[in-house]
Amino acid sequence: MDSTTIYGRNPVIEALEKGKKIEKVFLQNNLTGDFEVQVRNACEEKNIPLTKVPPRKLNDLSRSHNHQGIVAYISPVVYTTVDKLVPLLKSEGKIPLLVVLDGVTDVRNMGAIARSAKVFGAHAIVVPAKGSARVSEEMVKSSAGAILDIAICRENSLPIAIETLQMMDVKVYASDINAAKTIAEQDLKGPTAIVMGSEDKGVSRKVIQIADDTIKIPQAASFDSLNVSVAAGIILYEVLLQRV
């Protein structure tokens, strides 16, 4: 167990009640009664992902049999949402630049993306509450600390978050190897969100359909695709070139 993991009923309830930065809660799948209701309501109120798992999974997560049916991850970052962040950026005279991660579950990839985002001037990384890499000590290391110095927007629904961005006049571009235009052919100087997909599936079809447009990185050789963190860095560099 690392320093970002807590377990046991009293420690987890205390963390929830005191507003600790909780990444995710795991609850034993056969628990019922007042405690289960208390935890479920607290997670819903604070927008904390809750997953019900068998006792064996809790044993593995806590490396103990004394977890009392509950394990939680403490996050080293404070989460926000796009509807709160974008107006704040605009009020500060900044041109919003966000990186939206659709299904990126590898800790090292997300850490590397955070590092590039910080270097090239992105203001935030947007992730789904479920189906995303956990912000952990390993991610902090792989990002060289950048993950602690950039806003993280955790959203219950990426499609809804994208529509919210669009309503706030942020153009949303999905990275897609089959896009008609390259990154240099798109105007990325205004408020922009770049959607990056998972290594195996890319950006989901639903997200591509609601995005304002797609973009691609030109390639000298025909090959499947770039690593997602490398691709994110190249795209963010192009944004920087257009804005300086």
Whole-model pTM: value is 0.81
| Tens-digit pLDDT profile for residues 202-232 | 899 999 999 999 999 998 876 667 889 999 9
Q: What is the mean pLDDT of residues 46-74?
A: 90
Range(s) within the chain of domains with CATH label 3.40.1280.10: 79-243
Spatial separation of the C-alpha atoms in residues 45 and 157, rounded to whole Å: 16
CATH number assigned to the domain covering 79-243:
3.40.1280.10
Q: Which residues contact 182 (CB under 8 A, 6 or more apart)?
A: 215, 216, 217, 218
From the options 3.30.1330.30, 3.40.50.2300, 3.40.1710.10, 3.30.413.10, give the CATH code of 5-74. 3.30.1330.30
| Tens-digit pLDDT profile for residues 176-197 | 988 999 999 999 999 999 999 9
Cα 167 to Cα 90, 93, 233: the distances in Å are 14, 18, 26
Range(s) within the chain of domains with CATH label 3.30.1330.30: 5-74
Q: What is the mean pLDDT of residues 8-17?
A: 89
Q: What is the pLDDT of residue 224?
A: 64
Share of the chain above pLDDT 90, in %: 65
Q: What is the mean pLDDT of residues 54-63?
A: 90
